[in-house]
């Protein structure tokens, strides 16, 4: 799919027309359509009930071109979130109508954003909506629906053209890396083992000039990562510890460290997950995938920052060699972990990764993980759980979440909850003894391994896309867009 910046100074073939409930075609676009085509559209709009948000209609115009009418609903309720969904709906409607090229006026999509931020958002969301996970399917006789080109019409001076095109190019980078993340997550567990995930990181890292180091089992053991070793004990696949580093030459400060959960399949271990909970657990490396491709995106964008990515990659399997409930594992920090439940494996491997992160004297560490079903129960599948003890950072992350499209909402991580993860025979228990506030228990556990500014994101709620997202079924690619916004913010604000 090619995304082309254009001006509305000549007639084009197909138009996407986002319309408010009682609004008409904007004068700007109307002029390009010509009286005959515009007349038909207006006739339709006066004779049909108003197009509600999300509604669509395809009109074949006298000139032979097509108009895709998309409902934006009530003007007063129009906002940034709706604008993102609209962009995705455009792709869906083009594919449904097998329209391969169309033009849209960016003013018809705009909520609050300025031209360049808007172009960037549109480009990335177009790409995200264009992705389908067909890798494992035979191609149908008529082929998969494809889109050749989307023209984004904007008003700009000739001197602004380069900047506007650069904005689209940035959106394309973020969209591509988000889609790569989704492909990784969607890949079945049998085809995405710890070593394959590590190979992938090496490949994409090399292409983007990101330094990638992969530690294998002996090196992991030597570092004292008893958590990673313990969780992977039951699997025939050996653990990998993936490290990525990107450093812009102009940046002199301490690094941002991103940590992602890389459980390539989570059976629950001996505390085996029942059907259907086990079904989507090949996506339990989604946090890790987001970190890998956020690193690549940040490098491709050339953001002036120093960023390190850490992804412990394991498979959680039941077998004769599995770790057991009651086992006590020694983490890299020396703290011991009492395993109450082998299905709370993510926090165990993250404990080692967080312990390791302290070596970089980080400015900030952010971990992202499909950590708890409890966060999904608490928040539903619209927004991720955010944990931090710093109120200013909480607000910053909520704002960046809103700006990026990866939404975040806070849950408590208070000292009062610490009691719940105290071990009986080890230092820390890997699941909350009360059985309540499960997402907070996960955060409280991780907090025991942290000695630097840190934020925890439980992305289990948005591991997969829901119906309203207007994305292909499967992984949503949570995290990449957020980390790009965070990196930009930290590059611009030295104090954050």
The catalytic residues are 273, 347
Q: How many CB atoms lie within 10 A of CB 474?
A: 18
DSSP assigned state of 253? S
* Residue 458 engages Zn ion in binding (rule: CB under 5 A): no
Quick one: which of 400, 381, 394, 384 has its CA closest to 465?
381
- CA quadruple 370, 376, 379, 383: dihedral positive or negative? positive
Cα separation, 94 vs 105, whole angstroms: 15
Cα separation, 294 vs 487, whole angstroms: 10
Residues 6+ apart with CB under 8 A from 76: none
Q: Which stretch binds Mn ion (CB under 5 A): 84-92, 265-273, 370-378, 392-400?
A: 265-273
* Residue 423 engages Zn ion in binding (rule: CB under 5 A): no
Q: Are strands 328-330 and 306-316 parallel, antiparallel or unpaired?
A: unpaired
Query: Residues 174-213 vs ligand BES: string with x where CB under 6 A?
Result: ----------------------------------------
Residue in 408, 460, 486, 491 binding ligand BES, rule: CB under 6 A: 460
Could you tell me the smallest distance in angstroms from the CB atom of residue 326 to Mn ion? Answer: 17
Could you tell me the smallest distance in angstroms from the CB atom of residue 286 to Mn ion? Answer: 13
Could you tell me the smallest distance in angstroms from the CB atom of residue 312 to Zn ion? Answer: 12
Residue in 37, 125, 266, 367 binding Mn ion, rule: CB under 5 A: 266
CB-based contact 312:352 (threshold 8 Å): yes
Q: Which stretch binds Zn ion (CB under 5 A): 261-269, 423-431, 437-445, 477-485?
A: 261-269
Cα separation, 437 vs 337, whole angstroms: 20
Tokens of 286: 């989604």
* Residue 420 engages Mn ion in binding (rule: CB under 5 A): no
Q: How far is CA 349 from CA 167, 241, 281, in A?
A: 38, 10, 16
- CB closest to ligand BES, residue no: 373
Nearer of residues 256 and 349 to Zn ion, judged by Cβ: 349
Report 299-338 residues binding Zn ion (CB under 5 A).
none
Nearer of residues 38 and 376 to ligand BES, judged by Cβ: 376
Nearer of residues 172 and 263 to Zn ion, judged by Cβ: 263
Residues near Mn ion (CB under 5 A) are 266, 343, 345
Binding site for ligand BES (CB under 6 A): 266, 284, 341, 343-346, 370-374, 376, 431, 438, 460, 463
């Amino acid at each position: 799919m090619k995304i082309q910046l254009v001006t509305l100074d000549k007639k084009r073939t197909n138009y996407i027309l986002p319309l408010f409930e009682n609004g008409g075609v904007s004068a700007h676009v109307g002029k390009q359509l010509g009286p005959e085509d515009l007349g038909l559209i207006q006739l339709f709009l006066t004779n049909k009930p108003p197009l509600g948000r999300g509604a669509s209609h395809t009109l074949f115009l006298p000139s032979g071109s097509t108009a895709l009418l998309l409902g934006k609903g009530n003007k007063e309720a129009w906002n940034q979130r709706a604008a993102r969904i609209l962009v995705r709906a455009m792709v869906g409607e083009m594919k449904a109508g097998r329209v391969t090229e169309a033009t849209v006026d960016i003013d018809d999509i705009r909520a609050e954003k300025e031209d360049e931020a808007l172009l960037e958002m549109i480009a990335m969301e177009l790409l995200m909506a264009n992705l389908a996970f067909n890798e494992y399917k035979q191609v149908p006789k008529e082929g998969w629906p494809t889109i050749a080109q989307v023209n984004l019409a904007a008003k700009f001076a000739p001197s602004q053209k380069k900047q506007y095109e650069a904005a689209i190019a940035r959106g394309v980078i973020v969209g591509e890396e988000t889609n790569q993340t989704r492909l990784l997550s969607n890949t079945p567990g049998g085809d995405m083992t710890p070593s394959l995930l590590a190979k992938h990181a090496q490949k994409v890292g090399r292409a983007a000039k990101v330094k990638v180091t992969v530690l294998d089992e002996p090196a992991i053991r030597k570092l004292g990562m008893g958590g990673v070793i313990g969780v992977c004990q039951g699997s025939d696949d050996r653990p990998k510890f993936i490290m990525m580093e990107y450093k812009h030459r102009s940046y002199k400060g301490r690094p941002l460290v991103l940590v992602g959960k890389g459980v390539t399949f989570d059976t629950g271990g001996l505390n085996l997950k029942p059907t259907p909970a086990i079904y989507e657990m090949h996506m339990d490396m989604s946090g890790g995938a987001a970190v890998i491709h956020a690193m690549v995106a940040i490098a491709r964008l050339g953001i002036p920052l120093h960023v390190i990515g850490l992804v412990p990659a394991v498979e959680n399997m039941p077998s004769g060699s599995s770790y057991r409930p009651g086992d006590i594992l020694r983490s890299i920090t020396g703290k011991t972990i009492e395993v109450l439940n082998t299905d709370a494996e993510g926090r165990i491997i993250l404990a080692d990764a967080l312990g390791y992160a302290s070596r970089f004297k980080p400015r900030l560490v952010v971990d992202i993980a499909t950590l708890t079903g409890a966060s999904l129960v608490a928040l539903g599948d619209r927004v991720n759980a955010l944990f931090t003890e710093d109120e200013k950072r909480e607000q910053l992350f909520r704002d960046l979440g809103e700006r990026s499209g990866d939404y975040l909402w806070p849950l408590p991580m208070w000292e009062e909850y610490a009691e719940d993860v105290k071990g009986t025979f080890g230092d820390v228990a890997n699941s909350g003894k009360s059985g309540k506030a499960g997402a907070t228990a996960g955060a409280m556990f991780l907090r025991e391994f942290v000695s630097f500014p840190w934020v925890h994101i439980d992305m289990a709620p948005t591991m997969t896309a829901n119906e309203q997202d207007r994305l292909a079924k499967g992984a949503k690619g949570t995290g990449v867009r957020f980390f790009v916004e965070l990196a930009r913010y930290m590059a611009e604000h030295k104090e954050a």
